[in-house]
Amino acid sequence: MSATVAGPSVALPSPRVRSQGIALRRGIVLVLFSLLVPGSAQLAAGNRTLGRWAVRIWATILGMIVVLGLLALPFRAFVIGLLANQITLFILQWGVLIYGVGWALLLLDAWRLANPLAMSKAGAIISGVLALALAFTGGGLAWGASGIIEAQRSLFGQVFEGGGNAQAQNGRYNVLLLGGDAGADRTGLRPDSMTVASIDAETGRTVLFSLPRNMQRVPFPVDSPLHKLYPNGYYCPEKSLADQCLLNGVFTLATQHKNLFPGVKYPGVEATRSVIEETLGLKINYWAMIDMKGFEKLIDAVGGIRLDVGKKVGIGSEHGKKGVYDWIMPGKNQLLDGWHALWFARSRVASNDYERMLRQKCVMSAMLKQLDPATVLTKFQALAEAGKQVVATNVPSDQLGTLLELAMKGKAVPMSSVSFTPPLITPMNPDFAKIRTLVTDAINASEAADKAAANPPAQQPQQPQQPQQPASQAPASQAPSSTKPSTKQTSKTRTDNLEAVCKVS
């Protein structure tokens, strides 16, 4: 007879322990399913009517996001304009919050449906902590998203009031950018920086035209209320610079005669716009004015800007109480915060207005190139708060999509600029006919660059190389030409090379 040797017996978990494990796994699965598809837990193990409604709402929202994403490919400007609409933002603000609260409640209900009383004490704690963590995370994300949307709605409601001209002018959008300076040593607000960005309506290629603040004799158009006061241009014979009629003084002049602009909310901007239109020969579609404090906050909101500084720039004033108390030193790839970027753009220490204009355009170019969608998304609330420092603009919110799309296109192509400063133009007695010619030439050159990029020249077939003859046997007609360079001097460029002033990192 053979004996059978029994091995060591393995103790199976008790039915209670197995039941607790099954309940725990079931609870985790229901919570995770509810995380991925809100309402799925209720549809599987709870109130099916509630589950069906929750799944339908989730599917509808997902479908709308997909549709918007597909529409954004061919109609990006339309989608951005839709999302900038006040009604849309109001619905989104409260819709996201309500959805987040509902999602959190469904997650907690999914844990309840798993019957935590059937779990072990540890299992109930683990599954409960998981459900609570996901519920609080989902609710917190919804709360944060609702806050971002509310900030955007507040920004658009306060700043983008509209009133501009959405019709492209000869295929271009012309935007007047005014940098206002209302410091403690100033009487009222006046623009110290005046630049027109002429943007191609198709490609986004941009030409910047900068006008010095001390330009005199600027013409008022015939239909301007101030034309009768200065029919031959804004000029005063006083010798003192403070009393001269300068371009940036048009803003204050119109404000002092606001009775001549009935129904106009910003007479200073309106008068400045009309003068610059007459000076450049361009019709302005939109204008925007930001004060210097707003500029500083805007730079800080995006985390600063990077520049290669080629020349040291003083901080302070040579004539102020503190004097010049610090310097922005030359160097490559320098990170400037808002305060330093503001001084870099404004400083007059050991420089003139014209160099200052170039530094301002460097800063504008840096912001355009370095502001990316990820920065806008992650720092939107700070950007929105800084954006409220914009004094005024007549850009309507429904045109933001068009302008943002053009700005994105413009980042991919070089930006050119023209400054109407000496020796090109004499601000005390400017040649306005020459200014308009320069404007036309610069725009034509920009559009020619677009055409050249769209239609590159076809490559010519390579000609077979002829055997070279010794120099002594070469015909007289093929005698080598002199390599002496021509003594003819090239004419001075009509455009600024921003990279020569400061390179954008």
Question: Per residue in 298-344, pLDDT tens?
Answer: 788 788 888 888 888 899 887 767 788 889 998 898 999 989 998 89
Give percent of the chain above pLDDT 70.
80
159-163, 194-198, 206-210, 283-287: segment of lowest average pLDDT: 159-163
User: What number is the average pLDDT over the span 413-438?
Assistant: 91
What is residue 12's predicted lDDT score, i.e. its pLDDT? 64
Contact 415, 498 (CB under 8 A): yes
In one-letter notation, the amino acid at residue 406 is L
What local confidence, expressed as pLDDT, does residue 133 receive? 92
| pLDDT over threshold 90, residue 199 | yes
Winning range, highest mean pLDDT, from 189-203, 452-466, 483-497: 189-203
Sign of CA dihedral 436, 441, 446, 448: positive
The burial of 90, by beta-carbon neighbours within 10 Å (0-12 exposed, 13-18 middle, 19 or more buried), is given as: middle
Structural domain spans, the chain: 16-159, 172-447
Which 3 state secondary structure label does DSSP give 238? Answer: coil
Contact status, residue 193 vs residue 177, Cβ threshold 8 Å: yes
pLDDT at 187: 43
pLDDT at 186 over 70: no
At what angle are helices 121-159 and 380-387 packed, to 10 degrees? Answer: 20
* 71-82 confidence digits (pLDDT tens): 888 887 788 778
Q: Are 40 and 55 in contact (CB under 8 A)?
A: yes
CB 77 within 8 A of CB 401: yes
Mean pLDDT of 361-389: 66
Average pLDDT for residues 125-133, to the nearest whole number? 90
Please determine, looking at this structure, whether the domain spanning 172-447 carries the CATH number 3.40.630.190: yes
